[in-house]
Amino acid sequence: MITKDIRYIGVNDKDLDLFEGQYQIPNGISYNSYVILDEKIAVMDTVDKRKTAEFLQNLDRELAGRIPDYLVINHLEPDHAASIQAVVEKYPSITLVGNAKTFQMLPCFFSLGEQPKVVVKEGDTLSLGKHTLTFVMAPMVHWPEVMVAYDSCDKVLFSADGFGKFGALDVDEPWDDEARRYYFNIVGKYGAPVQALLKKAAGLDIQIVCPLHGPVLKETIPHVLDLYQTWSSYGVESEGIVIAYATLHGNTGMAARKLEEILRQKGCGNVVVMDLARTDTAKALENAFRYGKIVLAASSYNAGLMPYMEDFLHHLAAKAYQKRTVALIENGSWAPSAAKTMREILSGMKEITVVEPVVTVRGVLKESDIPALEALADALLS
């Protein structure tokens, strides 16, 4: 129970290994749905088709024999909307509520015929009795049809994919870590639309946030809003330096670890080192966005760049990586090419500062390479 009239009818999924076919979710995921019980009844989104039967059972339990009047579609992505067809088939009189883009995209997923519908736009309201929903458009957070709904009676924001996280609801884990990994990998490219939504949300008295993934938020709302402000503006959340390396025969990895040692000796207490061949890419992206400085260390490969590093950089570019300080270490015994290739990829990103010197290691790390690593550490810490 969220409030007296708002009930949780979502489900946990601990059997799925990869969310969206790419993100590791060792602690599962929740597909959240809610129902508002008033003179009229509104179901707020549905769940992934993997859990349709359980979701319908949860809905039946809370309805206690009543028939829902509305199905509000805040977000049409299949992990939230795949059970729409099942709801319509079970409750054929139900009215679908969405915006113009929602109904434009709906035929991509369903054949619903002439189902009753209400098309809403920015600021429109829907009265259920004592509860009134106000609709706020949130395009590209992170699909074009996304909207959120605010219940002025209980001061609840139904926030679609905003403020969500990986992890099933019965897992005890820090909210920040899996929310950060979720945000930067799924929503991170769309900082400007998130900023626009945050400005709209600032005008609402929000006491409860009901996201489509992760726990319902109450006491932690100020902390969550502060993090979202930092994340969506591409600000620096934590002081520290990330060292991400891709090593062919281990020598570039040794250079990365030596730089870590030097940085710690110089007083940098927070150094995060990632072997890109063995680090979950989603976790690597999370760390890259969390901190303000990153060292990219890579072997040269086929007159270009070690594939793990190249892939990582393209992932960063796709998520709008920006406003960061970057240092480069390359390794190449006969034709070093990694730094040039990394610079070329970085040049397509906004507000990236590449510090000097760029360190070139030729083969194994030698004593003669240490002064250059010392100089690079000084430049990073200055």
pLDDT digit string (tens) for 219-241? 999 999 999 999 999 999 999 99
Q: Which amino acid is at 328?
A: L
Residues 45 and 73 sit within 8 Å (Cβ to Cβ): yes
Fold of 6-232: Metallo-beta-lactamase; Chain A (3.60.15)
> Model-level pTM?
0.93
- Domain spans of the chain? 6-232, 238-381
CA dihedral 218, 102, 184, 348 (to 10 degrees): -150
Residues 225 and 175 sit within 8 Å (Cβ to Cβ): no
Radius of gyration in angstroms for the set of CA atoms belonging to the chain, rounded to a whole number: 24
CATH code at 238-381? 3.40.50.360
Q: Which amino acid is at 178?
A: E
Q: What CA–CA distances, in Å, run from 287 to 112, 192, 272?
A: 43, 21, 8
Enumerate the β-bridge partners of residue 89. Answer: none
Question: Would you place residue 174 in the very low, low, confident or very high pLDDT band (cuts 50, 70, 90)?
Answer: very high
Residue in the block written with tokens 């605010």: 150
pLDDT at 113 over 90: no
Residue in the block written with tokens 């799925």: 16
Cα–Cα nearest to 245, from 271, 207, 213, 218: 271
What digits encode the pLDDT tens for the residues 136-169? 999 999 999 999 999 999 999 999 999 999 999 9
Report the length, in residues, of the chain: 382
**How many distinct helices (H) and strands (E) make up the chain?**
12, 21
**Calpha distance 306→299 (Å, rounded):** 5
